Amino acid sequence: MDFNLSSTQLFYQLIDKDASERDLILSDVRQNSPQLARNVDELLQYANNDFAIEALEVHLSTANESTICYENLRVDRYVIGHELGRGGFAAVYYATRRDSLFHHQYAIKFFHPEILGLLGQEVLFSEAQLLANVSHSNIAKVYDAGIYNGAIYIVMEFVDGLNLRDYLSSHSLSFEQKLMLFRDICLAVDHAHQHQVIHGDLKPENILVCSDGVPKIIDFNIAQKVQRLSIGDRELITPNVLALTRNYASPEQLDNDAIDKRTDVYALGRVLYLDILRAQPRGDITKVVALATHSSPSRRYARAKDLAQDIENVRCFFPLSQESKVSVEVIKKSMIRSPVFTLCSTALVLSMMAIIMALSTATQDLNRQKLTLDEMLNDVTASVYPLNNDLTDWEAVIENRENQRKLVLDTPSRSFWPQRRGDLNSSMQVVSSSTADDIEYNIIDPMNIRLMQAEGDQEHDEIHPTDEVVTFNESVG
């Protein structure tokens, strides 16, 4: 048993089970989730309280089923055809208008005469007028109304299509196509709400889908006598005669409490769960169903338009309305929504990182080379400029410089040596002008010559040093 279900979801699982099986499940729920069990018990009690409503429907249906038939009659300008459907409060017929001015197809709903006595002519016609003011491509239009032999009738648009459940069964729609279909239904309901019209009995049988895939909502529940109450910015409707379908009815309907727009939102959530998703929600759509069918009206979507927006968010991989704008899920959806942009951005970031790493490595190598050169220059300077003037060490000095020169010339990166040539020249000048007043040093530096050759100085190409020449000229003081 899944104890993560809401009380409403568990209620709908239990309501169609026999008493013994229901009690067994409830016993398990009471042990593991007492609060959930109490909520479900309350809903089951509410469901049992609609006995009088069901009795009224049965009475109206049986009292009129055998006596009232409008087929082949002419009612006002309309010729009544075959019966399209029948319920506890009314029967619907196919009809046409045939005269010299106009020819069209209609669906005419005849309410049982007892309804007129229960609700009154004024209420029924006022509700019919509200429906006539609603104009939407996904709502069946209301054209006319009247009374015939004590029965109220409403003339509506004839919709040639299948009910939602049959349409989904006979057409292989993708998940995205189903969401788009349901989104259009939600937007149509929201449009009706904007005109102060609440359906009150949304279910697959009241949603027809034409052959071109366009949904049409029919049979708005004008058979409920209503008292309109204003609470803040919300309008509530208190029904005296309740027409509902138990599997799609909200808890407040089952309790015969005041209903509002969120009652239709609940029914839409049930249609989404039972018919669009076939009771198998997955991913984010599960959160949408849970929010739409919350047992508390204040916790549901406030408008059918909000439900439609989250359906579109699921379809297009946008974050849901109740999700944080910055989260792992939001980032994942953004990546799924724009894979090319994500791929390009990732490649750009990786390229930048690779360039930065390469530059960092090159900089480290250059710094090491500079450090090596500085150390060599220090060694050369120390070798050619000893602290004392002992001339007996010059052979060792020359040999040491030759070794340093070979190391420099064998180093692969020579681009920095020209920068240091001036330092080397300075060191040589120090040697040529120091150590003793009576000794003159004339040094031809093969290192400088080779460095200049590496730079491409052609003026030194003819010089081919083979050894270092040092000339000592003693001057007589």
Please identify every residue annotated as catalytic. 201
Cα 125 off chain centre by: 43
If you search the block for the tokens 């010089």, which residue do you land on? Answer: 463
- Residue 305 in marked binding region: no
CA 127 – CA 150 distance, rounded (Å):
18
Dihedral angle at the C-alpha atoms of 455, 458, 460, 462, nearest 10 degrees?
130
- Nearest-angstrom CA–CA distance, 238 and 389: 117
First to last CA, the chain: 117
Residue 293: name the closest of 3, 12, 8 by CA: 8
Buried b (16+ CB within 10 A) or exposed e, 301-340: bebbbbbbbbbebbbeebbbeebeeeeeebeebeeeeeee
Q: Is the alpha carbon torsion for 229, 234, 235, 241 positive or negative?
A: negative
Q: How far apart are CA 140 and CA 103, in angstroms?
A: 18
CA nearest to 300, candidates 308, 315, 288, 312: 288
Residue 433 in contact with residue 444, Cβ under 8 Å? Answer: no
Region label for 161, one of left (φ > 0), alpha (ψ between -120 and 50) or beta (otherwise): beta
Nearest in space to 165 (alpha carbons), one of 308, 16, 271: 271
> Which candidate, 296, 348, 341, 353, places its Cα nearest to that of 317?
341
Report CA Rg, the chain.
Answer: 46
Q: For residue 123, what are its two tokens? A: 């209420």
What is the C-alpha separation between 421 and 426, in angstroms, rounded?
9
Quickly count helices (H) and strands (E) in the chain.
17, 13
Tokens 């047992």 sit on residue: 295
Q: Where are the beta strands (DSSP E) in 195-304?
A: 207-210, 215-217, 226-231, 234-239
Alpha-carbon distance 414 to 455, whole Å? Answer: 9
Residue ranges at the known binding site: 109
Residue ranges at the known binding site for ATP: 109
